[in-house]
Chains A and B, each alone.
Chain A
Amino acid sequence: MSPGRSMREQFADTMVAVGQSDPRLTVLISDISHFILQPFARACPGRFYNLGICEGAIVSLAAGMAKTGMFPVIHTIAPFIIERAFEQLKLDFCYQQLCGNLVTVGSAFDYANLGCSHHCYDDFALLKCLPGTRITYPASALEFDLLFRQGYRGPGLTHYRLPAVAHQIAFLPSDIQLGRGIKVVEGDNLTIVATGPQLDNALAARDELGAIGWHPEIIYIHTIAPLDFDLLRASAGRTRRVLVVEEHLERGGLGDEVLRATRDIAGLRFASLAIPNRFSTDYGSYAQHCERWGFSREGIVAKVKAEFGG
């Protein structure tokens, strides 16, 4: 792992490192990250392909490569794989039980000014419908590097949703296990489940919440599927109040899965801070989109007050 690397730089570094040790790793891109991946192209000749703008065919082609024992990585902007090529993911990878990796940029509304064609905040909901698919949201360079190494050989399809902005928490490598959540802070009367860069806002809200009587336990989730039911149930069983914060539509995202995990806990109260079921049509920066939907320290505090009092 290279300290201080952006998510995309870490992706490029990890491809070189894994590709040099595993001759079956191949990288297929749809005309993004071309230059940053040249070290991989040089280190692993014949295993890097910029296939242009034809995402549906690229996904099917990658599945065919997997049929021969390769471990393909498909990399482009999230909506162009997950929404445009959904049928290819479903039929060519999942139905045929083949191994593949999707490494996407353009998480949620990261491509803020490019408009709704380049946003993707329904990916958890879509991919959860594909049996056997693993969904990860590594929001630090270390997480991507470790989760990719743990997951790229399958089984099945694995998605790595790379955000443009990493969170600021330094986890120990031993904390990062595919399919396992992380208890970041202990608490006693509220559980905040955060995923992606929103971990920072969840942690920042603690003091203000403490002043009004809430002592939140912060659970960080980098693997949406399979979800760490045990960790979530243990926390929710003690606090009886759960707020999920995610840069995803409120329908079909992590929140729905947390509800499923905790549905039989007596007296549980649940709230979700997510994107309403609308297009994020306005322009502005990523930070301004976050502000619009309440993804901030203040937004989290306001949501807790509105849903749970204080």
Chain B
Amino acid sequence: MAMNNDLRATIARMVHRAGDGHIPSAYSIVDMVAILYRDYLRVDPRRPQWAERDYFVLSKGHGCLALYVVLAHAGFLRPSDLERFCTAGGILGEHPDCTKVPGVEASTGSLGHGLPFAAGIALGLRIAQRSNRVFVLVGDGECHEGAIWESANLVANLELGNLCLLVDWNGSAAQLLPRDDLPAKWRAFGWRTCVIDGHDEGQIRDALDSVPFAATGTPTAIIARTVKGKGVAMLEGHGTWHHRIPTDAELAAILEALQ
């Protein structure tokens, strides 16, 4: 039984209602995002722009359904916002827009932007001598982008120890380019690296608890082995469900599996 099945069920209902959205990409990260907001990020839904807040940047923007349901659970969004996902006049689209959505720190979608953007946040905070922490989540497919490795090099050389990276290693990248030793790659760029099960609450917590978080220091990359579509057998893996919309019967089956 996966954690956060209530959040997974909400995601499935949103996609079914809207006729759009990426369910499996959200299911592979929702456990990590939920734990971050529940227990680690210093944020205040009444003050989304609070100067002392921690920052979370979802670099793989197509996983935004996970962020939306977590933000709603944390009080940043209303249930009606979720109901209007992908509708005209709604604030939630298939990629997050920070100019519309309270609690979203970066508008992402085109891959490879969120990590360097988060690095800039971390550097700006360090220059201002502020102790806020920066978390950023990238996908393994996103690690095909050159900008990710430009940023890996920059963050390590700038010694942005106030930045913690989570990599959603759900196997998408290896479908196409099988030389995929992400832990070795991040270590080679000078990052403190650990590998965890991204659906195991204890391992996620242990990894987050171990991050040193210093204004200047070695950045941390938590490489999280995850399952695309985690929690519902029919969605898991790399088949047609990446951007497929469930029928009424399929939604019922998904919700049944999440009971």
A69 touches B154 (CB 8 A): no
User: In this assembly, does A21 line the interface, its C-beta being within 8 Å of a C-beta of chain B?
Assistant: no
A54-B150, A69-B128, A96-B99 as given contacts; A61 in contact with B123, CB under 8 Å:
yes
Task: Give A64 to B98 CA distance when docked, in angstroms.
Answer: 12
Pick the residue among A26, A49, A60 that contacts B117 (CB under 8 A). Answer: A60
Task: Give A138 to B129 CA distance when docked, in angstroms.
Answer: 35
Q: Give a binary string over A25-63; 1 marks a CB under 8 Å from any B CB, 0 the rest.
A: 010000000000000000000110101101011111111
User: In this assembly, does B166 line the interface, its C-beta being within 8 Å of a C-beta of chain A?
Assistant: no
Task: Give A51 to B120 CA distance when docked, in angstroms.
Answer: 12
Pick the residue among B113, B121, B127, B150 that contacts A67 (CB under 8 A). Answer: B121
B113 touches A60 (CB 8 A): yes
User: In this assembly, does A95 line the interface, its C-beta being within 8 Å of a C-beta of chain B?
Assistant: yes
Interface residues of B in 190-240 (CB under 8 A from A): none
Pick the residue among B107, B123, B151, B154 that contacts A65 (CB under 8 A). Answer: B123
A51-B154, A56-B147, A61-B151 as given contacts; A67 in contact with B117, CB under 8 Å:
yes
Interface residues of A in 106-142 (CB under 8 A from B): none
User: In this assembly, does B91 line the interface, its C-beta being within 8 Å of a C-beta of chain A?
Assistant: no
Nearest opposing residue in chain B for A56, CB measure: B147
Selected interface stretch from A84-92, A159-167, A246-254: A84-92
User: In this assembly, does B125 line the interface, its C-beta being within 8 Å of a C-beta of chain A?
Assistant: yes
User: In this assembly, does A68 line the interface, its C-beta being within 8 Å of a C-beta of chain B?
Assistant: yes
Q: Give a binary string over B96-107; 1 marks a CB under 8 Å from any A CB, 0 the rest.
A: 001100000111
Task: Give A95 to B113 CA distance when docked, in angstroms.
Answer: 13
A68-B128, A96-B99 as given contacts; A61 in contact with B113, CB under 8 Å:
no
In whole Å, how far is A188's beta carbon from the nearest beta carbon of chain B?
Answer: 49
A56-B146, A56-B147, A67-B117 as given contacts; A61 in contact with B154, CB under 8 Å:
yes
Nearest opposing residue in chain B for A57, CB measure: B150
**Chain A residues near B123 (CB-CB < 8 A):** 49, 61, 64-65
Task: Give A218 to B112 CA distance when docked, in angstroms.
Answer: 46
Task: Give A66 to B158 CA distance when docked, in angstroms.
Answer: 17
In whole Å, how far is A204's beta carbon from the nearest beta carbon of chain B?
Answer: 46
**Chain B residues near A87 (CB-CB < 8 A):** 110
User: In this assembly, does A70 line the interface, its C-beta being within 8 Å of a C-beta of chain B?
Assistant: yes
B124 touches A64 (CB 8 A): yes
**Chain A residues near B113 (CB-CB < 8 A):** 60, 88, 91-92
User: In this assembly, does A239 line the interface, its C-beta being within 8 Å of a C-beta of chain B?
Assistant: no
B147 touches A57 (CB 8 A): yes
B107 touches A60 (CB 8 A): no
**Chain A residues near B116 (CB-CB < 8 A):** 56-61, 64, 88
Among B98, B105, B150, which residue has the most Cβ atoms of chain A within 10 A? Answer: B150
Task: Give A67 to B57 CA distance when docked, in angstroms.
Answer: 12
Task: Give A117 to B212 CA distance when docked, in angstroms.
Answer: 43
Q: Give a binary string over A148-182; 1 marks a CB under 8 Å from any B CB, 0 the rest.
A: 00000000000000000000000000000000000
Pick the residue among B109, B125, B147, B158 that contacts A60 (CB under 8 A). Answer: B147
Interface residues of B in 121-152 (CB under 8 A from A): 121-125, 127-128, 130, 146-147, 150-151
Task: Give A67 to B118 CA distance when docked, in angstroms.
Answer: 9
Q: Is the interface of B mostly helix, strand, loop or mixed?
A: helix
A62-B120, A69-B124, A92-B113 as given contacts; A57 in contact with B154, CB under 8 Å:
yes
A26-B127, A57-B147, A96-B98 as given contacts; A67 in contact with B105, CB under 8 Å:
yes
Interface residue count for A (Cβ, 8 Å)? 30
In whole Å, how far is A38's beta carbon from the nearest beta carbon of chain B?
Answer: 18
Among B98, B120, B124, B154, which residue has the most Cβ atoms of chain A within 10 A? Answer: B120
A64-B118, A97-B99 as given contacts; A91 in contact with B110, CB under 8 Å:
yes
A67 touches B124 (CB 8 A): yes
In whole Å, how far is B103's beta carbon from the nearest beta carbon of chain A?
Answer: 14
**Chain B residues near A70 (CB-CB < 8 A):** 124, 127-128
A54 touches B107 (CB 8 A): no
Task: Give A59 to B119 CA distance when docked, in angstroms.
Answer: 11
**Chain A residues near B153 (CB-CB < 8 A):** 52, 54
In whole Å, how far is A53's beta carbon from the nearest beta carbon of chain B?
Answer: 9
**Chain A residues near B128 (CB-CB < 8 A):** 68-70
B120 touches A96 (CB 8 A): no
**Chain B residues near A56 (CB-CB < 8 A):** 112, 116, 146-147, 150
A64 touches B117 (CB 8 A): yes
Nearest opposing residue in chain A for B120, CB measure: A64
Q: Which residues of A contact B (CB under 8 A)?
A: 26, 46-47, 49, 51-52, 54, 56-70, 72, 87-88, 91-92, 95-97
Q: Which 6 pairs of residues, A with B, have the shortest CB-CB distance?
A: A64-B120, A68-B124, A60-B116, A57-B150, A54-B150, A61-B120
A-B contact pairs, 27 of them (CB 8 A): A26-B124, A26-B127, A47-B127, A54-B150, A56-B112, A57-B150, A58-B154, A60-B116, A60-B120, A61-B117, A61-B151, A64-B106, A64-B116, A64-B120, A64-B124, A66-B124, A67-B121, A68-B121, A68-B128, A68-B130, A70-B127, A72-B120, A88-B116, A91-B109, A91-B113, A95-B107, A96-B99
